Amino acid sequence: MTTISIFRDSEQIDTLPIKKQFYINENPEGELYWYESIEDAPYRTGVFQIWLQSIGYNPKIFLVPPNWQLIIDDVWMEKKAYFNLENLKGKKIELRYKEYRFVFQIDE
């Protein structure tokens, strides 16, 4: 199962398992919010940022915008847009944006 730890500045603000999917959006005020299904979205407006799918044997991240920093197993990747990141099993994925850090531990 995939788990995520969420930090704002240096404070951990949330840790949760991801059962199927995980979304990160940005509301009009610039705050990030996250949820596991479209029905659970706390806002109906905002800018879609990240979509991770953790279903079955091939977890993937469909989008990492170019203004986010992607780090895979402590290796900082080039800052650019990434699409359909696959083969993530057993990896630690970190996404940074503004004062937020999202750390995904994707189990084998």
Q: Judging by beta carbons within 10 Å of its beta carbon (0-12, 13-18, 19+), is residue 21 exposed, middle or buried?
A: middle
Instruction: Report pLDDT for 81.
Output: 94
Residue 69 and residue 18: Cα distance in Å, rounded?
21
Domain residue limits, the chain? 2-106
pLDDT averaged over every residue in the chain = 85
Q: What is the pTM of this model?
A: 0.85
Q: Please give the CATH architecture assigned to the domain spanning 2-106.
A: Sandwich (2.60)
Name the pLDDT band for 19 (thresholds 50, 70, 90): confident
